[in-house]
Structure 1
Amino acid sequence: MRPRKYSDAGQAFPIYITVVAGLLFLAFAYLAVGQAAATRNGAQTAADAAALGAAQDQRNQLVGRWLDNLLNPDLWQDIFHGKVEGLDPSCWRAQQLADANDAHVVGGGCEPEWDPLGYTVEVKTNDPVGDSIVPGTEKTYATAEARAVIEPRCDFDPPPADAGPDVLPRLLCEGDRNWDLDPDDLDLDALPKPEDLFDVHLAD
């Protein structure tokens, strides 16, 4: 009687199915991780833009206040360090930039800071992570926080005591950019720009 031959093909097929199923599961898991990471990155981009937008709006108001008081240098120091009353809140700009990045400022998520001057903003994405192999991601949103600060880039030399009351201080700014201001010829196009007077950047 001849011995019966057995084939390994039938035994290998279930193993093949198991391996393929495992690889598909890993692929979907990596996709879910990628979706979550993309949503988090989008939230951080929106938070960064919102914080910078609010800080830049506040900086522009400070520059406007400085221009209004060019002939009153006694107020310059306070203006350069944000010690100014009556500035308008800048959270509207944070919300505008968050909207442009498919997010929104969460309730109470836009706060001015005074030392150093700036804004801290928290945002939440408008869209969730989306459907994935991980349960609950279709209702999961990403949040992120960013802080932007405003720092003066200029100081000034008081004029000599015998210079007379109409002589303005000389502005000494970073990058060896200096301005000698003539009160009788204050050409707005020749004056320093907002980015010359203040630095706005993200901070930890």
Structure 2
Amino acid sequence: MTRKRHHADAGQAFPIYITVVGGLLFLAFAYLAVGQAAANRNGAQTAADAAALAAAQERRDQLSGAWLENLLDPEKWQDIFDGVAEGLTPTCWRAEQLAADNDATVLSCNADGLLSYTVEVQTNKTVGDSIVPGTETKKSRATATAVIEPRCGIDLPAPGPEEDADEKEKEELPTLDCKGGIDWELDPETPGDLLPKPEDLFDVHLAN
């Protein structure tokens, strides 16, 4: 009698065991699907961040080049620090390059004003097959904004006698007061390799 009851209990437990194992397998596959989606999303965000920074850094380099070209014309310096300069060219091609390097495609790249870029990208790869329907064709999107921030202000020299103004402008350039307590006392004869570099003149960082 005891042996029969033992076999009966074992028979009843087996379906429960199968149900529990099936549930655990389902949860495991569900977590895997979530992980796949998260990895794909992280890849999209990495690509968006890199693309936005690349576009902003290209603009920073152009502005730095414009500042060097106008080194002897301090009246144009503030405009350049504000993002206004002659000869600036589109920079979103750099965003496309960096997105491609991160296996993504740029959907949009916009200059938000003069010193900011917002880029939206989409991954080239899908999330992949999973228990969640539709993931085999699902691609992730992400957006990032990069900001160009001037590091320096201009310390204009005190005006001298009117008759000496032209001569004074030729001899002296304004001092650049930059972040970190760095002051650049410039001279028209300063060698190019001793002049401020793009990263000395502008910070580039993600908005968030």
What TM-score, normalized by structure 2, do the two folds share? Answer: 0.92
- Residue 133 of structure 2 is matched in structure 1 by 135
Determine which structure has the larger helix proportion and give its number: 2
- Residue 165 of structure 1 is matched in structure 2 by 169
- Residue 193 of structure 1 is matched in structure 2 by 197
1:6 aligns with 2:5: yes
The count of aligned residue pairs is 199
Matches within 5 A, 1:54-93: 54-93=55-94
Distance 1:4 1:56 in 2: 80
- Residue 146 of structure 1 is matched in structure 2 by 144
Distance 1:92 1:4 in 2: 79
Specify every segment of 5 or more residues in structure 2 that has no aligned partner in the other structure, as ranges: none
Distance 1:75 1:92 in 2: 27
Distance 2:206 2:49 in 1: 7
4+ long deviations beyond 2 Å: 2-5
Distance 1:3 1:199 in 2: 82
1:72-121: CA deviations, max 9, x gaps? 00000000010224311100000000001110101xx1001216x11100
What TM-score, normalized by structure 1, do the two folds share? Answer: 0.94
| Secondary structure in structure 2 of the residue aligned to 1:199 | strand
Aligned-partner residue type, residue 201 of structure 1? H
Kindly tell me: are residues 18 and 76 of structure 1, through their superposed partners in 2, closer, same or farther at Cα, counting changes over 3 Å?
Answer: same
Which deviates more from structure 2 when the two are superposed, residues 147-156 or residues 185-194?
185-194
What root-mean-square deviation, in Å, do the aligned CA atoms of Structure 1 and Structure 2 show?
1.4
2:109 and 2:120 in contact (8 A); partners too: yes
2:53 and 2:204 in contact (8 A); partners too: yes
Identical columns (%): 67
Distance 1:173 1:27 in 2: 54
1:170 Cα shift?
0.6
- Residue 184 of structure 2 is matched in structure 1 by 179
Kindly tell me: are residues 186 and 3 of structure 1, through their superposed partners in 2, closer, same or farther at Cα, counting changes over 3 Å?
Answer: closer
